[in-house]
Structures are given as C-alpha cells and as structure tokens.
C-alpha cells in the first residue's frame, strides 16, 4: 500500500500541530491546512526535520473554493488522502444576550460549516479509494454546554450531529467518521483564561490537571488506525472525567 496521507486543518498550532507530529511519527505524509502561512511552514519544517514528508496549503475552511483548491493540491502532490482531521476552530465568547451577530456567524462558519466543507471535498477521493478516516475535533462543551459560548457550543454540538450523519452515509465505502471531544486542554485557546477562570474549570476535572495536546492527538491517531476499524459515528471523550 502507498504511504498514507493525513490532512490536518488548523495544523499550524496547538492540538493540530500535535496531531500532525503524531501522524508523521506513525509514517504518514502530512498536509498542514491553515491560513497561517508562516506557522504552517514552521510546523512543516519540524516534520521534515523528523524525516517526514509535508505539504502546506493556504486553507480557509469557511470558503468552499479555498477548501477545494487545498484538497486538489494535496491530491496532486500525494495522489490520495487517507485521513482528514477537522481541527480548525475559533472562539468569540460573549453571553447570548450580548453576542454580536458577526461573532455568531464567524464561529459557526469556521467550526461547523468548515468541517462540512472540508469533509465534503475529501469524501469523493475516499470513496474512490474505498477507504478513509474522518476525525473531527468536537468539545466537551458540545455535550455539556457552557455559559458565554453559545456560538462555540452550538458549532461543536453540530459537529457531533454531522459526524453521526456522515458515518451512516459513508460506512458502506469503508470510511469511518468519528469525533474526539477534548476537555480542558493546555493550548493558546485556554492560555487567555484568568487564574480564577482556570481554577473554576479545574474544580470540574476529577483528574485535577490540564490535558495536553498530545492526549488529543493520541485519540485521533487511534481512530485513524486499523485498531479502530469497527468504530464509527462515535464521540471519544478526552476530558479527564470533566463530563461523563
């Protein structure tokens, strides 16, 4: 079998970067897909230093044209995409009564619509191969809710629903579709929280520590592996017991 290829959206930092490194170490060629061009190249340099092969693409998940161009570039370079990791995500937090319409639309566009557009672009190639793994990054709040994050919570809950729908549509073509729902992970997104906010959050985590990006990357790699070939339509919670 030809070398497998993993495309990671939002692969330029945080959880996406850890996922890209993890797949590289497992022998995959990597496509880093994000609009952060300098950071894309930084991660690509790290992957090449590990002896891996990497393509970077300027990738705006909210634009179907940008997504198609990026996926086409990946196919032109590697001839296949075996794993899609829908990791790109943003937050624009505010209480619902004060949330600006633009902040609602932006978060839904990137987190949920972007997951759909990217999956939609990759699916025909996976169907032709009669093989594929789609893993989307949801969130603990997509199941549990969180005040001040109506847009983000709705987008992540939507990813869970989309995952179940695609799993049913694609199972006959040997394509599995699953989600990983992180809890409180040590990333740029959580670094902006105040000590008080962090303490309040940590009180909800039975394991009493932050998760690391690698914890999420390990779960994603498992779902993409042959060991998980009979798992589809599932949400794997990686949250230290924060939500059960």
User: Active-site residues: which are they?
Assistant: 152
Contact 32, 43 (CB under 8 A): yes
Query: Cβ–Cβ contacts within 10 Å for residue 196, how many?
Result: 8
CA distance 195 to 193: 7
CA distance 24 to 114: 24
Q: Given the structure tokens 């705006």, which residue do they identify? A: 60
CA distance 16 to 8: 7
Alpha carbons within 13 angstroms on the beta-carbon side of residue 72 total 6
Q: Given the structure tokens 């909210």, which residue do they identify? A: 62
> 94-102: long-range contacts (C-beta < 8 A, 24 or more apart)?
94/148, 95/147, 95/148, 96/150, 99/150, 99/151
């Amino acid at each position: 079998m030809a070398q497998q290829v993993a495309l990671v959206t939002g692969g330029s930092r945080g959880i996406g970067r850890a996922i890209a490194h993890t797949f590289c170490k497992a022998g995959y060629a990597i496509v880093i897909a994000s609009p952060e061009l300098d950071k894309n190249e930084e991660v690509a340099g790290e992957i090449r230093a590990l002896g891996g092969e990497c393509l970077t693409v300027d990738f705006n998940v909210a634009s179907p044209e940008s997504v198609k161009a990026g996926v086409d570039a990946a196919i032109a370079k590697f001839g296949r995409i075996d794993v899609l990791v829908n990791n790109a995500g943003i937050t624009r937090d505010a209480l619902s009564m004060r949330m600006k319409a633009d902040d609602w639309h932006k978060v839904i566009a990137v987190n949920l619509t972007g997951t759909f557009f990217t999956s939609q672009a990759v699916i025909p190639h996976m169907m032709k191969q009669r093989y594929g793994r789609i893993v989307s990054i949801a969130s603990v709040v997509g199941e549990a809710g969180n005040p001040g994050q109506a847009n983000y919570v709705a987008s992540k809950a939507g990813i869970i629903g989309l995952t179940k729908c695609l799993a049913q549509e694609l199972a006959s073509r040997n394509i599995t579709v699953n989600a990983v729902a992180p809890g409180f992970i040590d990333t740029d997104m959580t670094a902006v929280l105040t000590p008080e906010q962090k303490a309040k959050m940590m009180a909800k985590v039975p394991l009493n520590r932050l998760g690391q990006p690698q914890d999420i990357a390990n779960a994603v790699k498992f779902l993409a592996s042959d060991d998980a070939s009979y798992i589809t339509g599932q949400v794997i919670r990686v949250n230290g017991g924060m939500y059960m």
